[in-house]
Amino acid sequence: MPGFEFFGEEERKQVNDVLDNGVLMRYGFDGMRNGHWKAKELEASLRNVMKVQHAQLTSSGTSALTVALAAAGVGAGDEVIMPTFTFVASFESIIAIGAVPVLVDIDDTLTLDPQAVKNAITAKTRVIMPVHMCGSMAQLKELKQICNDHNLILLEDACQAIGGTYDDKPLGSYGHLGCFSFDFVKTITCGEGGAVITNNKEYYLNSDHYTDHGHDHVGNDRGAESHPFLGYNYRISELNAAVGLAQIEKLPRFLELQKQHYLILKNELAKVDGVTFRRIPEAGVPNYGFLNFFLPNENAARNAHKALGENGVDACFYWYDNNWHYIKKWDHLKNLKSLGRLPQEIKTQLPDYHKQDFSKSDHWMGRTISSLIKLSWTEEEVTARANKMAEVVSHFV
């Protein structure tokens, strides 16, 4: 991670196919394309890799989440349960459709705590949205049972976890809907892009129409297509899809490299007394995009993270202080800072996150350090990194 480390002739060929025919839009202009339909080809590849019946590309991971929620009929005043540790896009996508993000605690999986989810369910809850942060998954069996018990939708935000599995199913395919991001720093990248996957035909058709201004895509005359409902422009371009088409062919190699590098780092850090690791649910296999480990307390983690940087160990993250990924710094959400008036349902129903007790999340995030796993490391480089990390961290446990 990320896939841009291995850009090469494959990506150039796919992009040049698009540039040669000049059709950058995924719809229409059939006669000019010379048989090139990159978005359709990438959707077919996603269906195959993710073992699902339907895949819909979008312009980003954020738009994928927005489209998935809308496709499932989620709207104003509906509540969506999500974790305190994620990327801001999770609550942005919920607010974009007028729904209410209900944040709950994480546990040592660094994802949704099922008991916290149960405690947060109200008559207005429509969706449980686990976020498979840093390459590993939520406790999906437990969350799916909760959804079944309460007639809720399970929407997997797998934007950071493509290639991982749970119960032998690709992450994103276990729930009713799954979403991916293909932005520039993801395991496979389109530059910008995302996708919704599902086995539900209604959700798929809704996604297909919603991403393209409500076009029903019936027939060969785009101008004659009808609009069954309102939609927006969340389309991916052929150029972006072309990059992704080359990248998805490389996914098995990327996952193999990530696992190799991950295990070298983990095995060395495991020798340090006092270092423990993020819990991976029993039925799960991560995509190995990050190694997440715990130190005994917040002070140790802060100091160790600082020392790692000072000793030349790059790409390590202390999420507890991160502006983008943890609720502690999300004042724009807590204060509902918006350029325009927000729906009344959001203003009325949003919990007061200034006062909410997230000490259980703080317990885990305050102790967590994450190391990005790079694809381009040589064996010598990753071994040297592992040794240096273990040496530095040993001074703080």
Task: Tell me the helices (H) and strands (E) count for the chain, helix number first.
Answer: 13, 14
At 212, is the pLDDT very low, low, confident or very high (cuts 50, 70, 90)? very high
Catalytic machinery residues: 186
Going from the C-alpha of 297 to that of each of 161, 294, 300, 318, the distances in angstroms are 27, 8, 5, 13
The stretch 218-225 carries a mean pLDDT of 92
- Please name which of 64, 335, 41 lies closest in space to residue 195, comparing C-alpha atoms: 64
pLDDT, tens digit, 9 for 90 and up, residues 314-325: 999 999 999 999
- What's the mean per-residue pLDDT of the chain? 97
Domains of the chain: 3-250 (3.40.640.10), 251-325+359-396 (3.90.1150.10)
The stretch 332-345 carries a mean pLDDT of 97
Give CA torsion, residues 178, 183, 186, 190, to 10 deg: 90
Structure tokens at 138: 């939520």
The stretch 359-385 carries a mean pLDDT of 98
| Whether this model's pTM surpasses 0.75 | yes
pLDDT, tens digit, 9 for 90 and up, residues 27-84: 999 999 999 999 999 999 999 999 999 999 999 999 999 999 999 999 999 999 999 9
Identify whether the C-beta of residue 180 lies closer than 8 Å to the C-beta of residue 197: yes
Identify whether the C-beta of residue 100 lies closer than 8 Å to the C-beta of residue 79: yes
pLDDT, tens digit, 9 for 90 and up, residues 147-175: 999 999 999 999 999 999 999 999 999 99
At 302, is the pLDDT very low, low, confident or very high (cuts 50, 70, 90)? very high
pLDDT, tens digit, 9 for 90 and up, residues 122-135: 999 999 999 999 99
At 17, is the pLDDT very low, low, confident or very high (cuts 50, 70, 90)? very high
The stretch 349-366 carries a mean pLDDT of 97
